[in-house]
Amino acid sequence: MSADQKRIEALETKLTFQEETIQALNDALIQQQARIDHLEAMLKLVNERALTTPDEAQNESAPEPPPPHY
């Protein structure tokens, strides 16, 4: 093999590894984005519940009589 052919083969090998690395990074990014989307949806639900809970708690606690030691 000539020096040029060896250089071309080395470059092709590097390119193959780079393509595999890029694909692995892309897969990881897709999984992370799916997890972020899921966590954002959960956070939104928790936030909505937290915003409605104080009103419900105030409505329920308002008619409660004071403790007997007052």
Checking if the pLDDT of 64 tops 70, the result is yes
The verdict on residue 59 lying in a domain is no
pLDDT, position 35: 98
Q: Which residues constitute the domain of residue 36? A: 25-49
Report if residue 70 sits inside a domain.
no
How many distinct structural domains can be found in the chain?
1
34 domain-assigned: yes
pTM over 0.85: no
Q: Helix-strand-coil percent breakdown of the chain, rounded to 5?
A: 85, 0, 15
Instruction: Look at residue 43 in the predicted model and tell me its pLDDT.
Output: 97
Does 16 reside within a domain? no
For residues 29 and 50, which has the higher predicted lDDT (pLDDT)? 29
Q: What integer pLDDT is reported at residue 67 of this predicted model?
A: 80
Note whether residue 38 is domain-resident.
yes
CA atoms within 13 A on the CB side of 44: 6
Percent of the chain at pLDDT above 70? 83
